[in-house]
C-alpha cells in the first residue's frame, strides 16, 4: 500500500516545478503551461485526500472537477489574450507586454 505522504510529496514537487515555470519563463504561452502544472498538483492532492479520508464523502472529487472547469476556462481566456496581444504588439514575451506600465 502507498502511504499518503508519497502523493503529497509528488504533488509538492509538481507544484514547485510549475511555480518555477511561471516565474522564470519569458514566453506567455510557457507561463500558462506552468499554471497548468500547478493546477494538476492541486488536483492530485484533492484526489489523494478524498481516497485517504472518508471515501463516501465526495467533496474532494467534486472540487477536482470544478478545478478542471476553471482550468479549461482559464486556458481559453488566457490563450485568447495571448493571441490578441500577439496580433497588436507582435510579441509573446511577457516582459515586453507593458501597456499597463508607464
Q: In the range 16-55, which residues lie near other proteins by CB under 8 A?
A: 16-21, 23-27, 29-30, 32-34, 36-37, 40, 43-44, 47-48, 50-52, 55
Give least dist CB 100 to other proteins, A: 16
CA-closest candidate to residue 24, choices 85, 94, 100, 89: 94
C-alpha span between 58 and 79 (Å, rounded): 32
Which contacts (CB < 8 Å, 24+ apart) does range 21-25 have? Answer: 25/94
Under 8 Å CB-to-CB from 45, ≥6 apart: which residues? 7, 8, 11
C-alpha cell at 10: 509528488
Give least dist CB 102 to other proteins, A: 21
Task: Please report whether residue 69 would count as binding other proteins according to CB under 8 A.
Answer: yes
27 vs 102 by CB, closer to other proteins: 27
95 vs 102 by CB, closer to other proteins: 95
Count of chain residues binding other proteins (CB under 8 A) = 72
Amino acid at each position: 500500500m502507498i502511504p499518503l505522504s508519497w502523493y503529497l510529496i509528488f504533488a509538492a514537487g509538481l507544484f514547485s516545478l510549475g511555480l518555477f515555470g511561471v516565474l522564470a519563463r519569458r514566453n506567455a504561452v510557457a507561463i500558462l503551461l506552468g499554471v497548468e502544472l500547478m493546477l494538476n498538483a492541486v488536483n492530485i492532492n484533492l484526489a489523494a485526500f478524498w481516497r485517504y479520508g472518508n471515501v463516501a464523502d465526495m467533496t474532494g472529487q467534486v472540487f477536482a472537477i470544478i478545478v478542471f472547469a476553471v482550468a479549461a476556462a482559464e486556458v481559453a481566456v488566457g490563450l485568447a489574450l495571448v493571441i490578441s496581444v500577439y496580433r497588436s504588439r507582435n510579441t509573446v514575451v511577457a516582459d515586453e507586454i507593458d501597456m499597463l506600465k508607464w
